[in-house]
Chains A and B, each alone.
Chain A
Amino acid sequence: MTAASVAANLGGVALVALPGLGFAELLAPLRRLSLVRRLGYAYLLGVLVIGGILFAASHLFGIPLRRPAIGLVILLPTVLGLAAWIWRRRQSGPAKPTLPASRWQLLAGLAIGAVLLGPLTSALTAPLADWDGRMTWSPLAAYMRHEGTVDASVLRDARWYVMHPRYPPLLPLAQVAVQETLGAGEDEQDYRAVYVGFLVALVLIVHDATRRGAGPQAATLATLCAALPPFLSYGGGGATSGYSDLALAGFYGAALVLVLLERPAVSSGITAGCLLAGAVLTKNEGVLLALAALLLAAERLLRRRRDPVAGRQALAWFAATAAPVLAAVALLASWRAAIPNRDDEDYFAVLRLSDLVKGAFTRLPVIVPGVLRWTFRGADWLGFWWLFLAVLFLGAYALRRPRVRRMLLAGLTPAAIAWAAYAVSTRLPELIGETWNRFLVQGLVPLAFVFACALGRLMRSGHLRT
């Protein structure tokens, strides 16, 4: 580890965060939040802005993935956001001071910060050594950077050996942007801290979600509990790896917060839609998770249909949420059309309803023990899910609130996707070990929300105070 590599990695994080903060300044539901609560959303939006625009520019217009285009994509939202911030400050005067954090909140924040310093240090000191990062995501980035296009010839000819060539390329593109901007040479992994940033963003989104649902005290405790499992930092799919599950968990969770907890308005719809588009472009499961979020949004829309004014507003909100998702799905489909699939499980192609239904039940004796073993594995989760179940059981009264039930449903959606995959997979026991923990991560924000609400309920009934 040299000073230059540390500076480059932190520079990579700034390259993602700055356009994200700029974009967040243009979106009303995020602008209202304090900087700390906004930062998690902004980081993910930064990845989406950089990766999404480069994806469209390269695929649709043939613009090379080189410094001029990347610089423009980074600078434009940063400058626009800064201009909007200055203009607003002039209009409304200095920003209102936020409430000071309590001593316990500061202590919890310090503990989380100290724990997250571990994966950051690890990412800066050790070369990438995880399976999916070396097998799938980083090679995609390397090929795209080398050829300067998302439509790299190596992807489009089946004779070249590429694992999962049709996996969504958002994160590899963010990696390309960082590596290209910083002029990274062979073995210089200047993107590693960007992946640690996904864990930080996820924790910040967990905090914002739980605070909205359960208040500051329960939110502090729930965020602290959720940030501590070692799997999030060091597991295959954690912050030190080059996997995409933390980013997907962030996109999905952040979108759910806006879909289920924010007032339905066009601006909150666009923001949620952008985050769901990020989920679609991050991982294959993203499409299904986005669909689940849209179904929950549709249910919210249906509840408002009787009131003509609120119904119209809700319809506009729903359309604003769905539009970015549809654009992302179309872009992804267009890119994939020229890429022959190979060396990929391709669950969508092999999925047959009869096999799914049959496997979902006949394979339960294999699936259930495997899932339980990995969920309660001490080395990965330190008993977090035992605690989750205990709090949910004893604070089940919180489930009387419809939005808590909806969040629970949203949190269980990744597990349902896993179940479907396990029902049709040809290598079942291994697949559970490789993927189950990551499905748990994908549902972390909504599940932490449920946990915080149950905890908050118990804290009020038992007069527990942090």
Chain B
Amino acid sequence: MQTRWPARVVFILVIAYLLIAIPMGLRNTILRLRVAAKTAGVPISEVRAHAFGRRYVAAIDEIRRAIPENEPYLLSELDEPGSLLWVRFDLLPRRAIVLRRGGLPEPDLLCWRDQVRWEVVAVASGRPPLFRERPVTVPPGCPPAPWRGPDR
């Protein structure tokens, strides 16, 4: 005769799991639906400001207005590692050249670096990035960078 206790133990475990997991899943859904109800009809700019901070989003929007999509920018970060990735995403599809600490950049990179007009510094998560326009020069011995037209 087959023993039935393993089946009963499993039955109890499955029921216990479902009694915990289903209400938690439903609770998570209800919480999200509440947020959705609150943000219904709210424009995306407001949603971004709510999620990432009003000052951060305002700074990103200002940088977007300044840097055309086809122009690159120099990117670095202050103390919080990874904060530049956050800023880089919000400035896509603009291309970034990262200024790394320590070590000398490759000569090819040096040629490009001085021809980039914009510089962005990521500060920390939720804090507005710093931004400035830089003087542009073509270093001696370097060809004009591909994003710079021949007339510049």
Q: Which residues of A contact B (CB under 8 A)?
A: 1-3, 5, 111, 114-115, 117-119, 121-122, 124-129, 131, 134-135, 138-139, 142-143, 145-146, 153-154, 159-161, 163, 186-188, 221, 224-225, 228-230, 233-234, 382-384, 387, 390-391, 394-395, 455, 458-459, 461-464
Query: A163 and B85 in contact (CB under 8 A), knowing A2-B41, A187-B44, A462-B7?
Result: yes
C-alpha gap A395/B69 in the complex (Å): 59
Query: A160 and B39 in contact (CB under 8 A), knowing A135-B89, A228-B22?
Result: no
Specify which chain A residues have a CB less than 8 angstroms from the CB of B9 in the assembled complex.
390, 394
* Chain A interface, DSSP helix/strand/loop, else mixed: helix
Q: Which residues of B contact A (CB under 8 A)?
A: 2, 4, 6-11, 13-14, 17-18, 20-22, 24-26, 28-29, 31-33, 35-36, 39-45, 47-48, 51-52, 64, 69, 72, 75, 82, 85-86, 88-89, 92-93, 95-98, 106, 108-109, 112, 146
Distance (Å) between the CB of B80 and the closest chain A CB?
14
Query: Does B13 contact A160, Cβ atoms closer than 8 Å?
Result: no
A115: contacting residue among B28, B48, B109, CB under 8 A: B28
Specify which chain B residues have a CB less than 8 angstroms from the CB of A142 in the assembled complex.
92-93
Which chain A residue shows the least CB distance to B43? Answer: A2
Which chain A residue shows the least CB distance to B112? Answer: A159
C-alpha gap A142/B89 in the complex (Å): 9
Query: Does A161 contact B93, Cβ atoms closer than 8 Å?
Result: no
A127: contacting residue among B4, B28, B48, CB under 8 A: B48
Query: A135 and B13 in contact (CB under 8 A), knowing A1-B47, A121-B32, A127-B47?
Result: no
Query: Does B7 contact A188, Cβ atoms closer than 8 Å?
Result: no
Which chain B residue shows the least CB distance to A5? Answer: B44
C-alpha gap A131/B125 in the complex (Å): 12
Distance (Å) between the CB of A143 and the closest chain B CB?
6
Specify which chain A residues have a CB less than 8 angstroms from the CB of B72 in the assembled complex.
160
Query: Does B51 contact A121, Cβ atoms closer than 8 Å?
Result: no
Query: A143 and B14 in contact (CB under 8 A), knowing A129-B51, A228-B25?
Result: no
Query: Does A154 contact B10, Cβ atoms closer than 8 Å?
Result: no
Distance (Å) between the CB of B7 and the closest chain A CB?
2
Distance (Å) between the CB of B46 and the closest chain A CB?
10
Which chain A residue shows the least CB distance to B45? Answer: A187
Chain B CB within 10 Å, residue with most, of A1, A3, A160: A1
Which chain A residue shows the least CB distance to B109? Answer: A159
Which chain A residue shows the least CB distance to B33? Answer: A121
Which chain A residue shows the least CB distance to B84? Answer: A161
Query: Does B51 contact A127, Cβ atoms closer than 8 Å?
Result: yes
Query: Does B21 contact A229, Cβ atoms closer than 8 Å?
Result: yes
B14: contacting residue among A139, A188, A225, CB under 8 A: A225
Chain B CB within 10 Å, residue with most, of A125, A128, A139, A458: A125
C-alpha gap A298/B117 in the complex (Å): 58
Query: Does A1 contact B32, Cβ atoms closer than 8 Å?
Result: no
Which chain A residue shows the least CB distance to B4? Answer: A462
C-alpha gap A135/B51 in the complex (Å): 18
